[in-house]
A and B are shown apart, each in its own frame.
Chain A
Amino acid sequence: MSSDTSHAGSEEKLRRLQAVTDAALSQLGLEDLLDELLERTRDLLQADTAAILLVDANGEELVATAASGLEQEVRQGVRLPVGRGFAGSVAARGEPLMIEHVDRTNVVNPILITRGVASVLGVPMLNGSQVIGVLHVGTLTPRRFTSDDVDLLRLVADRASLATQARLSRLDRAAAVALQRSLLPARPRTVPGLDVAARYVPGTAVGVGGDWYDLFPLPSGHVGVAIGDVAGNGLRAAVVMGRIRSALRAYALESDEPADVLTRLDRKVQLFEPGAMATALYAVLDPTLRSLTIASAGHLPPLVAEPGEGTRLVPVEPDLPLGAYPGAPRHSTRTELAPGGCLFLYTDGLIERRTRPLDVGIDLLLRSLTCQPADTMCSTAMGTLLGEEEATDDVAVLAVRRTDGAV
């Protein structure tokens, strides 16, 4: 059997290549694709078993994910330590490994022993230089695998790695997008006397990130308006954002003082989200909608535009971002909002560019925005600052206009 494989002619090699690179495989879901790949691999290498183990999230264990001729490995949810045993060594070293005579001294997976596997060959599954899993084949009769066998198995591992990576990042992205959508309604809830609009755009470079906006009436008659940006991107940032956003709402119920709300929120982030960092701006409109109290945790300053007046930057001195430092002092700034006046909040993705200073971006925003219906303000800001170019970072903006007409 080994002479068969080692002396495979070029036609045979081509057949094998086609068997594992077959475009039709792409039509399959990940589980079916891996199963089919393992079936074909067993067939091509005349092996009795084939299995794929993936490195878990913290990189310490291999988890049996797909198997052929060794199905109990997956059914029993086998987990093997990276660095020990046969598969563990392949993962730790990132190199192929062959064991001609399997016994309890060189494998830790009891299933290989009980199944009566005599010889095994394993190769790493790689994403760049990172090992994401191990693919191995085994035979029930002793066998010395050839370098052709190693080459073929590497090819299969590449195919399986690509499919796995694509699937995982797709899942991650889909979950992050779903979470973001569920938390950021395209149109925030209506509050009497206010016209509100918002936009969220994921970054082209980073995908969905941790930006959020929020607006809610409080039982005291005040209205809370928030915007923030959790550092990082993807599912992790979106999940942390969801928790910070809902914690802010909870503290908003307890206090109408923005600095107080951000102090409590910061304490919560420090304790329960170690390592997380976020900027946030929280503003409270009093029940008359005339007075605005604002606190900033490292967030860029908001804009106020009033009919007949220019657009101005509200001079909110930012305190430290959430999660930056325990017990950071916080303060609030008060400003007026005239009848018909507009408030505009944004995240750094709107103005931060590698090619231009922040103040130039802020200035551009100041000059382009006037007090308009909220939706128009959002469109204008996005059109002016993002224009033709795609946002590399994610962007959130929130516009609020007083429509109560009270003078």
Chain B
Amino acid sequence: MPVTHYKVGTFPQPGTREEKDVPLSNPHHPDAGGVRVTARGEIDLSTADDLQHEIEAAIASTASAVTVDLAEVTFLDSAGINALLKGRRLADEHHKPYHVTNAQGMVRQLLRLTGVWDHLSRPAGG
């Protein structure tokens, strides 16, 4: 079964596979001031809503900027792209810098082929 984990924190914690028992890092780390949403595994119709909620929560938080890290995402479909694009809109409405980073392999390829990569990876907004 594909499993997708999300966590919200200032720093990604590579190698950590659990979601529930990982305490959330302080989202208001003084060095970064931003919050990082780390997505893992396959993001599709069944998991995209979870990612969207995490992104929405991060944008609604007091963090000064939001980064969505896709380093550990192995598959993304149109529902996943949808969630990332909605994040961009919402962040702009909140005047909060937002960008998507670290897309690898086929995930990056899909984001390029659908013309959304520049739009999502540009640390614009605010």
A residues neighboring B (CB under 8 Å): 205-206, 229, 231-233, 275, 277, 279, 296-301, 317-321, 324-326, 328, 348, 352, 354, 356-359, 393
Contact = CB atoms under 8 A, between A and B. Distances in A.
Contacts of A354: 2, 42, 74-75
Contacts of B42: 354
A223 to B, nearest CB: 25
Interface stretch (B21-29, B57-65, B78-86): B78-86
A90 B28 CA distance: 40
Interface in B101-126: 105-106, 109-110, 113-116, 119
Contact of B116 (A231, A232, A320, A359): A320
B85 A277 contact: yes
Chain A interface mostly helix, strand, loop or mixed? Answer: loop
B88 interface: yes
Contacts of A356: 106
Interface string B43-58: 0010000000000000
Interface residues of B, number: 23
Contacts of B110: 352, 358
B19 interface: no
Given A320-B115, A325-B88, A279 B78 contact: yes
A279 B85 contact: no
Contacts of A231: 78-79, 81-82
A319 B45 CA distance: 23
B89 interface: yes
Given A231-B79, A348-B78, A357 B105 contact: yes
B101 to A, nearest CB: 19
Contact of B119 (A277, A279, A324): A324
